[in-house]
Amino acid sequence: WQSDEFPAFFSPESGVKTPSRFNDAMSVARAYISGRELGMDSGMLVAVPNHDPAGENVEKAIKEALHEAEAAGIEGRDVTPFILRTVNEKTGGDSLRSNMALVKNNAKVGADIAVAVSNVQSNCKTTIQSIQLPANDGDTSLSDSESTPA
């Protein structure tokens, strides 16, 4: 979402490039609906970066806590409570605040996409299957009467 890089959980950066980028909810909606019209039953993952200023510090605290857990021999079901407690202590509670900001932003982006999908579905009378492409004379552009609504 609005990035060329897949976000880490608390940080907008992970170093991993995304296969595609969408900058607005309408673009996501159109891609989703186009996939459905093509018979694709797969879902879409929209990775929303966490832009909370504490996010970078929380990511650092998580990495430190993971190393501490490993060094202390903490395993299995004891890892998660150890990580949560340690990260909370290291960040002075910023991890919870940052996570809450991420949840709120994810909900907003998800709602925006749902509204965009609904708008496209209710307003779009032209589907990919109904578009008639010109004869193969080298011109593959659509005339104004054949274009899909913006």
- Distance in angstroms (rounded) separating the CA atoms of residues 57 and 96: 12
Q: Which of 62, 40, 35 is nearest to 70 (CA)?
A: 62
DSSP structural state of residue 47: -
Confidence band (pLDDT; 50, 70, 90) for 144?
very low
Q: What is the pLDDT of residues 27-47, one digit of tens each?
A: 999 999 999 999 998 889 999
| Whether residue 128 has pLDDT greater than 50 | no
Looking at residue 9, what is its pLDDT?
Answer: 80
Q: What is the pLDDT of residues 90-100, one digit of tens each?
A: 999 999 888 88
Rounded (10°) angle between helices 94-123 and 79-91: 100
108 C-beta neighbours (distance < 10 Å), count: 12
- Distance in angstroms (rounded) separating the CA atoms of residues 13 and 133: 41
Percent of the chain whose predicted confidence (pLDDT) is above 70:
82
DSSP bridge pairs for 16: 6
Q: What is the pLDDT of residues 8-29, one digit of tens each?
A: 888 888 899 999 999 999 999 9
| Whether residue 86 has pLDDT greater than 70 | yes
Please name the residue ranges forming H helices in the chain.
25-37, 55-71, 79-91, 94-123
Looking at residue 53, what is its pLDDT?
Answer: 87
1, 49 in Cβ contact below 8 A?
yes
Which has the higher per-residue pLDDT, 55 or 77?
77
Looking at residue 129, what is its pLDDT?
Answer: 52
61, 95 in Cβ contact below 8 A?
yes
What is the reported pTM?
0.69
